[in-house]
Amino acid sequence: MAFRATHLLGIEHLAPPEITALLDLADTYVDLNRRTVKHANALAGMTQINMFFEASTRTQASFELAGKRLGADVMNMAMQASSLKKGETLIDTALTLNAMHPDLLVVRHPHSGAVNLLAQKVNCAVLNAGDGRHEHPTQALLDALTIRRRKGRLHRLTVAICGDIAHSRVARSNILLLGKMEARIRLIGPPTLMPSGVADWGVEVTDNMAEGLKGADVVMMLRLQKERMDGAFIPSEREYFHRFGLDAEKLAHAHPEAIVMHPGPMNRGVEIDGTLADDINRSVIQEQVEMGVAVRMAAMDLLARNLRAARGMAAMGEGA
């Protein structure tokens, strides 16, 4: 089988055929999700625990729904409110949960690398739902699925990613994925919001929207965190919108058929013009949410298959 990973910690460790296999499977789940009866039993009898150490509404809901539609028993744990307050370490929390025999662990954590650390300590499949500024793999996969369904392919498309690249795990995962799938990537944003060493990433970098959007097939806008708007990274919200906010005028530089994406939640009037975000001819923002459930179903399905296979091998080993 093309998909061999045991965890989904990041796009970094996925091979292009694994990405393609996952997107192909997700396509079938899109069809399932559009039916009235949305049940499959790929995860029947399995236990999925969602551990969110950082507040999240949409990602958590998406993972929960994905698990339930595949028949898993899903448990949500709001970790900000729980044991960490009592001084328990991440590893102890992981070991405690591990003792309950979960099969899938979905983790979001404010520290980069925390999900990798946790994955070393448990014996179930771990999915990274966002760790610090590191990766957010399911977001990149759902973006890829959205693009592929709209444009028919990923390779040789020009994708412009605009905004706060430096602090964005969404941008990192997308850059890695689109790079692996041979898309052409342009990063647009003020230099204060560009990561160090970006020149070595094999992407084009500019701080000029007109130049960066020129001929782009896909325009991906990133969320600008409120706490970065206070003058430390950019002078003001309004200057940012003027220079980097996406509106119809700036979008006119892109390919006439270009689609507009945003991982949400949006700041209307900061990084994207409200009217444009709602324009169903250009904006695929709602579609991204739909693809999110399908991609997460596909990811959990594939990891569960590998988990069953690994456990089967282990059982055979014991028998012998």
Partner 1 sequence: MITFFQNARLIDPEAGEERIGNLIVDAGLIAATDAANPPKGAEVIDCNGKCLAPGIIDVGVKIGEPGERHRESFRSAGQAAAAGGVTTIIARPDTDPAIDTPEMLEFVTRRAASATPVRIRHMAALTRARAGHEMTEIGFLRDAGAVAFSDVFNVTENTRVLSRCLTYAHSLGALVVGHPQDTGLSRGASVTSGKFASLRGLPAVSPLAERIGLDRDLGLVELTGARYHADQITTARALPPLERAKANGLDVTAGISVHHLTLNELDVGDYRTFFKLTPPLRSEDDRMAMVGAVASGVIDIICSMHTPQDEESKRLPYEAAASGAVGLQTLLPAALRLVHAGAIGLPQLFRALSHNPARRFGLPGGRLTPGAPADLVLFDPDAPFVLDRFTLLSKSKNTPFDGARLQGRVLATFVDGKRITP
Minimum CB distance to partner 1 smaller for 131 or for 273: 131
Minimum CB separation of residue 90 from partner 1 in Å reads 7
The active-site residue, picked from 35, 36, 85, 86, is: 86
| CB of residue 119 to partner 1, shortest distance in Å | 10
What minimum distance in Å lies between the beta carbon of 67 and partner 1?
A: 25
Check 7, 69, 108, 262 and give the catalytic one. 108
- Is residue 108 flagged as an active site residue? yes
First to last CA, the chain: 25
Can 86 be counted among the known catalytic residues?
A: yes
Active site residue 38: no
Q: Which of 34, 39, 58, 238 is catalytic?
A: 58
Binding site for partner 1 (CB under 8 A): 12, 89-91, 109, 111-114, 116-117, 131-135, 166, 169, 172, 195-198, 200-201
- List, in order, residues 6 or more apart from 92 with CB less than 8 Å away: 83
Length in residues, the chain = 320
Q: Which three-class secondary structure state does DSSP give residue 257?
A: coil
Q: Quick one: 12 or 211, whose CB is closer to partner 1? A: 12
Helices and strands in the chain: count of H runs, count of E runs? 11, 9
CB 78 within 8 Å of CB 22: no
Shortest distance, CB of residue 128 to partner 1, whole angstroms?
11
Question: If residue 239 lies in a helix (H) or strand (E), which one and from where to where?
Answer: helix 237-244
The reply to whether 262 belongs to the active site is no
Which of 172/262 has CB closer to partner 1? 172
* Cα 94 to Cα 72, 112, 139, 233, 260, distances in angstroms: 20, 17, 24, 36, 38
Spatial neighbors of 106 by CB under 8 A, at least 6 apart, are 48, 49, 50, 51, 63, 126, 127, 129
275 tagged catalytic: no
Q: Which is nearer to partner 1, 201 or 233 (CB)?
A: 201
Residues tagged active-site? 58-59, 86, 108, 136
